[in-house]
Structure 1
Amino acid sequence: MTAAAQEPVLGPVAARYAWWLGLPAERTADRDAPPDQVWAMPVVLRMEKSTPPLRTPLLEAAAAAALAVCLHEDARPGGPWYEPLHTWTSGHIRKVARRARGAHWEAVQKLPGVTVEVEGAEARALVPCRVGDLPREVSRLQISGSDLPADDPGPAPDDRPVLLLNPEVTMSAGKAAAQVGHATMLLAALLDPIELAAWGTRHYRCAVRVADREEWAHATAALARPHEAWEEHGLVAVRDAGFTEVEPGTVTVVARRA
């Protein structure tokens, strides 16, 4: 196995976003790829018609599931998930959230991935693939209609990372699920091995909250100097590529380490 093949799945994520660490330059191999050749991680949200989940627990489940796939034992170099995951993280980190219920939800449980449940809400993140190669069980699921009303989750616990959503941007639950999944991956790529292992013992649980405007202003001001924001405040930003719902470059999430 070559040195490049031994790179952790999240290595390209750190290389792209944490440029201040002196890591290799950005790699975006799929920038000009045809639409059906683009790689994406499907994130399936369980949304039963009679018992819809609460928005915040569903987002927290999606955030943990996306990272759990990347850090699964099968995602290690030489494992069966490594090649598709590393190919995906070496390009744009795209996720597409879809909703499922009933038999369709049960069908996706058979595909390679990880399901996470938070307070009765469930999300399953799947091993990435080319959009044109999506399994039938996934391609038949709808992307639209994945919105849920705002809820009131209360104060965030202080024993886990917090993912602050931009209070000035409206996102569907599906869009927000993809964004918080980006955030947990970025956090994990920057944490030291001891911190990451400790987070793993808590199944990568995090708290998702909509920031108040003052909190958001302080966080985004700190991020003007990303190295200091991370080293001094444990903050890192997710900036959207602008493919859906928001303008390119929009900061959708500010993640804060535990």
Structure 2
Amino acid sequence: REKLESFRSFGGAQSYPSRTKDGDQVDFSTGSVGLGAAVTNFAALTQDYLRYKDMLPKDETPGRMVALVGDAELDEGNIYEALLDTWKHDIRNVWWVIDYNRQSLDGMIDAHLFRVIGRFFRAVGWNVITIKYGRKLHDAFAKPGGKSLKKWLNDVPNDIYSALTFQGGAAWRKQITSDMEGDNALASLLGEYDDDQLHDLMTNLGGHCMEAVLSAFESVPNDKPTVFIAYTVKGYGTPLQGHKDNHAGLMNVPQMDAF
């Protein structure tokens, strides 16, 4: 509690992982410039170098370097320099999990960034696996009206989706009904859920569904570097989820009590 109360202050919890300032174990110090992600590539390269030089136990299974990457970190130039080196040196055993919530301190992420991300990673030899929807949504898609619901989700602008995650179930129902007016099958599908259930359904993105995440992890076919584009809601489960100011926002007392 004391470290949270002194967040970003001397002796308190830091906004980025720090080997010297954080009490919990931190493998690599990082910051807002993509360094934490990039360093995993070179850690994997170093591991292979040591193995080829017989400087590691022969019966030791190579470790996997894993980075959890914010989607806005992909604005940093050194990310792409580091990715190009993975292609040059045929790096193995690296996973990047991109927390694709489409919000950052500076605003909304470009709607088509995921396509650019996928093309770039494939160009430098990475596996690309998208984790977009959770099990509850996949089950809903299989029902009558589900195809329309999936189309709406695929088409809705990022800023509208984020605002609805903050506003809740009634807002979801109103927006979808208005956008898909006349779709009786979809209206019937929405009628199967009360407002709380609908909100739970519509925020069931792949990055919040452990079944979807584990299935994606288990599907990796080889030791090639792999990126997972995991769709999430920023601030998921808090009263400020999806709010445009939640990057550094503080909950008020009633919100904290509810949380």
TM-score, normalising length: structure 1: 0.25
Larger C-alpha radius of gyration, 1 or 2? 2
TM-score, normalising length: structure 2: 0.25
Larger % of helix: which? Answer: 2
Which structure's relative contact order is higher, taking Cα pairs within 8 Å and 6+ residues apart? 1
